[in-house]
Copies of this chain bind each other. A is one copy, B any other.
Amino acid sequence: MNYHMSPEQFREEGKKLIDWIADYYEQVEKYPVLSQVQPGNITKQLPNNAPEKGEEFSTVMKDVEQIIMPGITHWQSPNFFAYFQSNNSFPSILGDLLSSGLGVQGMLWATSPACTELETRVMDWLVDLKGLPKHFKSTENGGGVIQDTASSAVLAALLAARERKTNFACNQTGDNSGLVAYISTQTHSSVEKGVKVMGLGTDRLRRIEVDRHFAMRPDLLEKQIQQDLEAGLKPFFVCATIGTTSSNAVDPIEAIGRVCRQHSIWLHVDAAMSGTAALLPDYRQYFEGLELADSYAFNPHKWMFTNFDCDCFWVADKAVLIKTLSILPEYLKNEATEKGAVIDYRDWHVQLGRRFRSLKLWFVLRHYGAEGLRYHINQHIELTQLFTEWVKDSDDFELLSEPPFNLVLFRHTKGNEFNKYLMDCLNKDGKIYLTHTVLNGTFWLRMSIGQTQTEERHVQEAWRLIKEKAETL
């Protein structure tokens, strides 16, 4: 006797679920993009207690359709233009399914060698595909690892930078006195969070002013560092961004990198959202200077057809990262680790356990090929340029600046309140979903164009809806 689902039932329900997912993608446009439920709506439809007796799978799937689906904001809709895209693809879903099915633990090389070796290889592939500096490859001093998110990547970078600067003393003594980190006023909040987590404190985080394109000013960075040095402090970390979250600004990596080198400061470059653009040689200008970076991260789970979570993080000197994060209790000792012949990815991030995440990335790379990825990324950028032209041609709307990649910031000329009201009305209609930011007190609409199924007709229709709604308000 047992309560397990039998392989036969799994075959049957699994195939139905595959069809369900295919149907979902074929019909995703029928849903309001932004879920229209109110707080508590889902909760009150779920019983107060877990069932005592097991239930039929079909009953659960009925609840998925009736209770869960109205509470879904459809990130995979071609009409989703909010936040950042988080574009998925069928090959990625299949890779992730295989990972769930195999159920292996990749904490050590020994606990599933393929999980480690495929990850290392795929991360090396991406260095070449994106034209990244060779020293990020595992065959050099560097190496790449899949982290869950860019937040975890920047935390790992902060920690490695701290230990390098303190000669690996802080891990033991906790003495972080005088350490100072630098970001711009536009850097993602994950660095501030990382600075809190690592116990440095936000007082020790300097926010460097930006130029009129919202990019960090290297002259002001240099000036602040000089001031801090004169005050006896120890600058140890700078985070530069290629494509900020708010407005897709690109910090001048090369100039910032030179400042960092001069003062032996760890440079982390965060290209979480826009890093995929480096697949296109024409866009590598924005990545110039990356050879001066100590670490670099981008998220295939944003703009490379790979479902969450998949952040690719590279370091130029893996020994520093490993020394910072390694722990080896007796119950994890094994021959391969002790010989030093292998990578144990447990020592590359906070977590010990890890799933076989490289499968989905490998499936995506092999399904699309470099050619297919370049084609679609280029398409997204072209659609963005098209939308940009429409905004520029319009009397009622204005553009923040020429978008470098696939995020347009624009606004109606009628001011902040009107724009916020316009956005809320559009999102409540449910036909498209877009979000906002505020820059120097001005409210801007953000249009992020990069969902897997987004085509010209969706962007056209979005623009028509935006104009129409603005006229009727």
Contacts and interface: CB of A to CB of B under 8 A. Distances in A.
A369 B55 contact: yes
Nearest to A124: B48
A109 B39 contact: yes
Given A7-B26, A336-B39, A367-B60, A13 B94 contact: yes
A189 B329 contact: yes
Contact of A5 (B90, B118, B328, B371): B90
A79 interface: no
A148 B351 contact: yes
B201 A170 contact: yes
B88 A103 contact: yes
A103 B89 CA distance: 9
A413 interface: no
Contacts of A53: 369, 371
6 contacts: A10-B90, A17-B98, A41-B113, A172-B203, A190-B327, A193-B325
Contact of A103 (B75, B98, B331): B75
A10 B21 contact: yes
A421 interface: no
Interface in A345-359: 350-355, 359
A301 B26 CA distance: 32
Contacts of A204: 174
Contact of A42 (B113, B199, B309, B330): B113
Q: How many copies of the polypeptide does the oligomer hold? A: 2
Contacts of A122: 50
B353 A309 contact: yes
Nearest to A93: B100
Given A14-B94, A46-B118, A55-B366, 13 more contacts: A3-B376, A7-B26, A11-B22, A42-B113, A50-B365, A51-B366, A88-B100, A148-B353, A173-B201, A176-B199, A189-B327, A193-B325, A331-B446
Interface in A118-175: 118, 120-122, 124-126, 128-129, 148-152, 155, 159, 162, 170-175
Q: Which 10 A-B pairs have the closest CB atoms?
A: A174-B201, A71-B114, A199-B199, A3-B372, A14-B18, A21-B101, A88-B103, A54-B369, A42-B117, A5-B90
B113 A71 contact: yes
A397 interface: no
A224 interface: no
Contacts of A155: 197, 350
A145 to B, nearest CB: 15
Interface stretch (A256-264, A283-291, A435-443, A459-467): A435-443
A18 B21 contact: no
A232 interface: no
A112 interface: yes
A353 to B, nearest CB: 5
Interface string A59-101: 1100010011111111110000001001011111110111011
A204 B193 CA distance: 23
A64 B114 CA distance: 10
Contacts of A212: none
Interface in A374-410: 375-376
Contacts of A86: 103, 105, 353
B436 A342 contact: no
Q: Of A13, A55, A350, A435, which is in contact with the most chain B CB atoms at under 10 Å from its CB?
A: A350
Contacts of A93: 10, 14, 97, 100-101, 103
A110 interface: yes
A231 interface: no
A52 B366 contact: no
Interface string A193-211: 1101111111110000000
A111 interface: yes
A15 interface: yes
Nearest to A42: B117
B118 A42 contact: yes
Interface in A1-50: 2-5, 7-11, 13-15, 17-22, 24-26, 35, 37, 39-43, 46, 48-50
A39 B49 CA distance: 48
A102 interface: yes
